[in-house]
Amino acid sequence: MMSPMKYNRLSVAVMFAGFVLWVIGITCIHSESMAAVFMAGTIVCVIAGVVIHAKYARCPECGKHLTRIWGNECPHCGSAIEQLQDVNK
């Protein structure tokens, strides 16, 4: 299992990929059907990023959601969060 901070970063990366798909869809694609495919990809990425963040990016001590802050401790309870190490190691 990954650490909560890895899930936090993964959710940001997935949502950023959705943003990239959105930009490509509105600027580079001139076919309506291809633009719809890119928009669908955007929606899937954003939903997946939100689900990853809501389900897995939680403090192991207090259980509250971690914010997008990249620090080493929970912003709610102050307990240390494993930065980039796997939890099961």
Under a CB-based contact definition with an 8 Å cutoff, are residues 40 and 18 in contact? no
- Assigned token pair, 31: 């076919």
User: Is this structure's pTM higher than 0.85?
Assistant: no
**pLDDT, greater one: 67 or 35:** 35
What average pLDDT does range 41-70 have in this prediction?
86
Q: What angle do CA 58, 63, 64 make, to 5 degrees?
A: 70
Given a cut of 60, is residue 86 above it in pLDDT?
Answer: no
pLDDT at 87: 47
Integer angstrom CA distances of residue 2 from 16, 26, 38, 69: 20, 34, 29, 18
pLDDT tens column, 1-19: 688 888 888 999 999 999 9
Please report, for the chain, the start and end positions of each structural domain, with discontinuous segments joined by +.
1-89
